[in-house]
Amino acid sequence: MKTEHVTKTLPTLFLTVVLLLFAETAFTLDVEALVRQVEQQYMGASSRAQTTMLVKTSHWERSLEMEAWSLDRDYFLVRIIEPAKERDVATLKRYREVWNYLPKVDRVIKVPPSMMGGSWMGSHITNDDLVKANHIEKDYNLRLIEETETYFLVECLPKTDAAVVWGKIVYRINKTPQVPEQVDYYDEEMVRVREIHFDDVQQIGDRIVPMRLTVLPLEKPDEQTILHYRELVFDLPLDETYFSLRNLKKP
């Protein structure tokens, strides 16, 4: 099947959320400083989430129960719990590498560059952004383009030498509470091809997080992926060793 350049990945979404959560103070002043601060504040941050992913395409619909762990911006592990047929199928991201574990054949497979644009777990989320979108402020120039009573609009344009998928990304961030509302993705022709909407905002510990993300591939109006966080915990005692290939295989 052809790859779908429709969405970014789950960890990206995590990151988007977290990145924006930490953005509070410096944001209105200087976007670059904001990003730097976000990056520093993010260091050491870890999380665990129980999620439900609903994927709807014109041919099928399915629902996945997943458990996910993340550390910094560089480590991410997600494992399928339901349905039973796909139980323990897992994805590990370490820096710019993505690995999948397939319990049926008991093999760990590294996702090759040619498949990075491919759909992740059949959703409108691709492997590619899992790696690339984690470096938003490295690959894109950020600029505040609009500020209203209720929200900020931040435009991200790719740097000239950056190997990126999108022609432009626009974030709309709510002011109080400071959470993302919507992210729009444009292709090289500046046509908007994907939207991610955030809602169900809740307080988790001392943070305020939108618990539901809806990914809409605009080329296919009848398709969508909804990612719902049923449980989200921050600042767990996780280190890099947890994100090993061995752990990818063992629940």
Partner 1 sequence: MLLTLAFRNLWRNRRRTLLTLSAMVVSAALLILALGVFSGMFRDMLASATEQYYGHLVLAQTEYHERRDLFAHLDEEVASRYITAEETEIIGISPRLRSFGLISLAETSQPVEVLGVIPEREKQVTSLQTKLIAGDYPSDAVSNGALIGQGLARKLKVSTGDEMVFVTQAADGSIGNDLLIVTGIFATGDSRHDNNLVLAPLQWVQQVMVLPGRIHEVAMTLADPMLASLAADRLNPRLPGDVEILDWGDLLPEMREVIAAYDVSRMIIVSILYMATGLGILNTFFMSVMERTREFGILMAQGMRPWTIRGLVLLETCILGGIALAIGLTCGALMTLYMQQVGIDLAGYITPVTYAGGTILPRLHAVFEAGNFYVPAGMLLLVSLIAGFLPANRAARLDPVQAVREV
Q: Which of 43, 60, 190, 221 binds partner 1 (CB under 8 A)?
A: 60
Determine if 89 is a binding residue for partner 1 (CB under 8 A): yes
* 55 vs 238 by CB, closer to partner 1: 55
Q: What is the dihedral of CA 188, 192, 196, 197, to 10 degrees?
A: 150
Q: Which of 65, 67, 117, 118 binds partner 1 (CB under 8 A)?
A: 118
Determine if 59 is a binding residue for partner 1 (CB under 8 A): yes
Quote the least distance from Cβ 73 to partner 1, whole Å. 24
Q: Are the CB atoms for 171 and 187 separated by under 8 Å?
A: no
Determine if 85 is a binding residue for partner 1 (CB under 8 A): yes
Structure token digits, residue 60: 């099928």
Q: Which of 15, 21, 92, 121 binds partner 1 (CB under 8 A)?
A: 121
Stretch that binds partner 1, among 67-75, 84-92, 151-159, 164-172 (CB under 8 A): 84-92
Q: Which of 57, 126, 174, 182 binds partner 1 (CB under 8 A)?
A: 57
How far apart CA 92 and CA 113 sit, in angstroms, is 15
Determine if 86 is a binding residue for partner 1 (CB under 8 A): yes
Determine if 107 is a binding residue for partner 1 (CB under 8 A): yes
